[in-house]
Chains A and B, each alone.
Chain A
């Protein structure tokens, strides 16, 4: 018991206050996303045309904490629902990116030669090609649905994982343990999945924490221009886009989701950097 208390104390002593605030914010946002069903004060799609465009309660409104939108829907409920959709889509997208990029990197490192050339050329192409343009093109061609949208998010940033994974696998292949299990008859798949991956996973995790906030930005950007999450479903980006029309008169409608996006991505970037400094031995402080 005493030991545990000391460990907690130690943790608080080690974590800088800014990081601590950021971690608390991220945890809060994730808790909101997980328990959104239970904490939404009202149905986020229920309209109430009598009480439209009500200001937040701290500005004198009487229709809920953040007021209502042009259809009389409760803004706080919609915000909570938006946090859930945005985070879910971004999280699944990040996982797809990490898996895809790591597999491509390992394949390139394993086969070398022409396979490596082709895959790395693809990586360079992806680096040079603005992702937004590609996303617009795909969504314009195939129309919009949630599966396609998540897959598209999964493509954003895969090349960073691919390059990282390839570089690390190339050096790990030569490591004693990889050669040792190889000469004992292990298949390449086993060597990569069970021996090399655990050794490089810390760097993949850091890249994941850097990629995740980018995903939120991309998701909100696409939703903002109307190509992402479609109504009646709502996301932080589509909420902002909706509020844009009332920026002059009811500015809070766009600003509230904007602040949530800003703080969440900022907090994740700060924590991501901090995690990298503490996990990656190659970063010199």
Chain B
């Protein structure tokens, strides 16, 4: 088994706004092994993006991060500002949901890409330009030399996302965090970007963290899945196990609410009752308890911890997990 490249344990993020503290992430544990694609899945506001931004420490000063984030044995939360800057882009890079706003609107693609290349290596402008062209080629852009002269508004969303990926690759990172990389794109482009990410993972051996709310994307692209709910990891499993034998009632509910190709056409889709608790007003005990059909007395009192369910890789945070 591969060793862990990145280990996030006991991560908590609080936002201090106007005298109030909003607990966005309660307790998130996950790990990424070398060359692995992991998925973080959960609905809006469950803390998946915030957890990943905490890794690179780009949350801004209103956020208070606790716990531990270890990358190759280094504690990222203890690093100085210049120390974390050496990690950003070179070791861990991130791409965002909205590729069009992630590019500077007043600068050409080429100058932005070359700037990032020169930031990471002492290349002359000529060889940086060559590297820019080859990076654009790697992310599947046709006529890369011509595209360098374009401004972001001249490109489509899919092309912008490819440029963002090329910029992320410029520093040769070991981990790529893709924060809902396909949400702003239409379905055909979405498939292209995902297959590009998969190919880059294979060719470069670059570990990838894929953040999404789309279980279909998870099923097709990742090896291990972490399911988040209300700022907590509620289930961790290899992808085939998760879809075959989901253990946490939340995961089971999610899967029941989706249609499947093999389904009987008459099977009604079953929604999960209730709503996600807001971070300021979380229920006592297990966060999922008010919406759970299996909840008993103990669920009202204690938050269950993530525990192994027999086979090592499958864990769930539930007192009544189904094995």
Query: How far does the alpha carbon of A112 sit from the alpha carbon of B107 in the complex, in Å?
Result: 27
B105 A183 Cβ-Cβ under 8 A: no
Over the window 45-58 of chain B, the binary record of Cβ atoms lying under 8 Å from chain A Cβ atoms (1 yes, 0 no) is 00000000000101
A181 B116 Cβ-Cβ under 8 A: yes
B85 A179 Cβ-Cβ under 8 A: no
B104 A177 Cβ-Cβ under 8 A: yes
For residue A24, give the distance in angstroms from its CB to the closest CB of chain B: 30
A177 B105 Cβ-Cβ under 8 A: yes
Query: How far does the alpha carbon of A212 sit from the alpha carbon of B311 in the complex, in Å?
Result: 74
A183 B93 Cβ-Cβ under 8 A: yes
For residue B62, give the distance in angstroms from its CB to the closest CB of chain A: 10
Query: How far does the alpha carbon of A195 sit from the alpha carbon of B152 in the complex, in Å?
Result: 14
Contact A198-B107, Cβ < 8 Å, known A176-B101, A180-B164: yes
B282 at the interface (CB under 8 A from A): no
B170 at the interface (CB under 8 A from A): yes
Query: Could you say which of A113, A184, A190 contacts B170, with CB atoms under 8 Å apart?
Result: A184
Query: How many residue pairs, one in A and one in B, have C-beta atoms under 8 Å apart?
Result: 68
Contact A184-B104, Cβ < 8 Å, known A176-B98, A179-B96: no
Over the window 164-176 of chain A, the binary record of Cβ atoms lying under 8 Å from chain B Cβ atoms (1 yes, 0 no) is 0000000000011
For residue B183, give the distance in angstroms from its CB to the closest CB of chain A: 13
Over the window 163-189 of chain B, the binary record of Cβ atoms lying under 8 Å from chain A Cβ atoms (1 yes, 0 no) is 010011011000000000000000000
Query: How far does the alpha carbon of A112 sit from the alpha carbon of B171 in the complex, in Å?
Result: 30
For residue A194, give the distance in angstroms from its CB to the closest CB of chain B: 7
B16 at the interface (CB under 8 A from A): no
Find residues 86-113 in chain B having any chain A CB closer than 8 Å to their own CB: 86-90, 93-94, 96, 98, 100-107, 112
Contact A175-B101, Cβ < 8 Å, known A182-B58, A184-B119: yes
Contact A184-B167, Cβ < 8 Å, known A112-B61, A179-B96: yes
B96 A176 Cβ-Cβ under 8 A: yes
A184 B88 Cβ-Cβ under 8 A: yes
B120 at the interface (CB under 8 A from A): yes
Residues in A with CB closer than 8 Å to B4 are none
For residue B310, give the distance in angstroms from its CB to the closest CB of chain A: 38
Interface size on A, residues (CB 8 A): 19
Closest residue of chain A to B91, judged by CB? A185
Query: Could you say which of A112, A183, A198 contacts B104, with CB atoms under 8 Å apart?
Result: A198
B137 at the interface (CB under 8 A from A): no
B164 A187 Cβ-Cβ under 8 A: no
For residue A181, give the distance in angstroms from its CB to the closest CB of chain B: 7
For residue B76, give the distance in angstroms from its CB to the closest CB of chain A: 13
For residue B199, give the distance in angstroms from its CB to the closest CB of chain A: 21
B115 at the interface (CB under 8 A from A): yes
A184 B89 Cβ-Cβ under 8 A: yes
Residues in B with CB closer than 8 Å to A181 are 104, 112, 115-116
Contact A195-B104, Cβ < 8 Å, known A183-B58, A184-B119: yes
Query: How far does the alpha carbon of A186 sit from the alpha carbon of B106 in the complex, in Å?
Result: 18
A187 B167 Cβ-Cβ under 8 A: no
Closest residue of chain B to A199, judged by CB? B106
B94 A177 Cβ-Cβ under 8 A: no
Query: How far does the alpha carbon of A33 sit from the alpha carbon of B170 in the complex, in Å?
Result: 49
Query: How far does the alpha carbon of A185 sit from the alpha carbon of B83 in the complex, in Å?
Result: 10
Indicate the member of A113, A183, A198, A199 with the most B CB atoms within 10 Å: A183
Residues in B with CB closer than 8 Å to A180 are 96, 102-103, 164, 167
A176 B102 Cβ-Cβ under 8 A: yes
Closest residue of chain A to B99, judged by CB? A176
Given contacts A183-B89, A184-B93, 6 further A-B contacts (CB under 8 A): A176-B103, A180-B164, A182-B88, A184-B168, A185-B120, A194-B107
Query: How far does the alpha carbon of A177 sit from the alpha carbon of B112 in the complex, in Å?
Result: 10
Contact A185-B107, Cβ < 8 Å, known A176-B96, A176-B101, A180-B102: no
Closest residue of chain B to A198, judged by CB? B106
Residues in A with CB closer than 8 Å to B171 are 184-185
B96 A185 Cβ-Cβ under 8 A: no
For residue A4, give the distance in angstroms from its CB to the closest CB of chain B: 22
